[in-house]
Amino acid sequence: GAGVSQSPRYKVAKRGQDVALRCDPISGHVSLFWYQQALGQGPEFLTYFQNEAQLDKSGLPSDRFFAERPEGSVSTLKIQRTQQEDSAVYLCASSLVGGPYEQYFGPGTRLTVT
Amino acid sequence: GQQLNQSPQSMFIQEGEDVSMNCTSSSIFNTWLWYKQDPGEGPVLLIALYKAGELTSNGRLTAQFGITRKDSFLNISASIPSDVGIYFCAGFTPINTDKLIFGTGTRLQVFP
């Protein structure tokens, strides 16, 4: 079946613009995760949904970052008033169940803030 | 945030050689996942480990969950050019069962 898909794959934003990044998880996967990956680093956790409930948002770096998954399927990560330090690859992952289980990643969205 | 330490940081090997890399932490983990990431792509899951001492294979790849629960190892046998990429270990601690913590990565280069 289809894997996790993300769009857009690349996004260039001027500093101060708002951006919205989309994630389509694997069909039937209950859990959805967002990670941020800086150049040369491993991914870092941002937030976690189980169905439509956002159960953990402790990794969101500031209140400019907001994520939603209103129907328990597609998720959107929104960044308001983008700053240069927001430049990174944003990865989405999904998992069949919650808890310490296998997570499957999408290709990521590379955000560049100029 | 917390990251796992991986070694070596990078490896340059000849095609056909075996490869070993490891991942260590000062904290106990109850699940280990190994991923491979190619440039411009997301991490691809290679192997999942759920019990201390567990040894699991996937083709030419073998991974082990260390018995202290603070480390994990990945071996690749008879390397081929398409093994090139960055290998990440990742895991869950007993406290944070939804927050996958990633290692610093091992960059593998294979020469024909």
The tokens describing A81, both together, are 């008033």
Query: Which of helix, strand or coil describes residue B103?
Result: strand
pLDDT at residue number B3: 67
**Interchain CB contact of B80 with A (< 8 Å):** no
Supply the DSSP symbol for A40. T
C-alpha distance from B45 to closest chain A C-alpha (Å): 7
Supply the DSSP symbol for A48. E
> Cβ contact (<8 Å) for B42 and A31?
no
Residue positions counted in chain A? 114
Residue A102 has pLDDT above 90, yes or no: yes
pLDDT at residue number A2: 85
How far apart are the C-alpha atoms of A84 and A54, rounded to whole Å?
A: 27
Torsion sign across C-alpha atoms A74, B49, B36, B95: positive
How far apart are the C-alpha atoms of B65 and B48, rounded to whole Å?
A: 9
Average pLDDT of span A77-88: 98
Report whether B85 contacts B73 (CB < 8 A). Answer: no
Q: Which residues on A lie below 8 Å from B103 (Cβ)?
A: 42
Query: Which of helix, strand or coil describes residue B19?
Result: strand
Query: Which of helix, strand or coil describes residue A89?
Result: strand
Supply the DSSP symbol for A59. T
Which residues of chain B have a pLDDT value below 70?
1-3
Binning pLDDT at 50, 70 and 90, where does residue A99 land?
confident
pLDDT at residue number A4: 98
How far apart are the C-alpha atoms of B25 and A43, rounded to whole Å?
A: 17
pLDDT at residue number B20: 98
> Cβ contact (<8 Å) for A101 and B31?
yes
B106, burial (CB in 10 Å: exposed 0-12, middle 13-18, buried 19+): buried
Beta bridge partners of A47: A34
> Cβ contact (<8 Å) for A45 and B101?
yes
Query: Which of helix, strand or coil describes residue A86?
Result: helix
How far apart are the C-alpha atoms of B65 and B72, rounded to whole Å?
A: 5
> Cβ contact (<8 Å) for B88 and A99?
no
A15, burial (CB in 10 Å: exposed 0-12, middle 13-18, buried 19+): exposed
Q: Nearest chain B residue to A92 by CA: give it.
A: B42
pLDDT tens across A16-41, in order?
A: 999 999 999 999 999 999 999 999 99
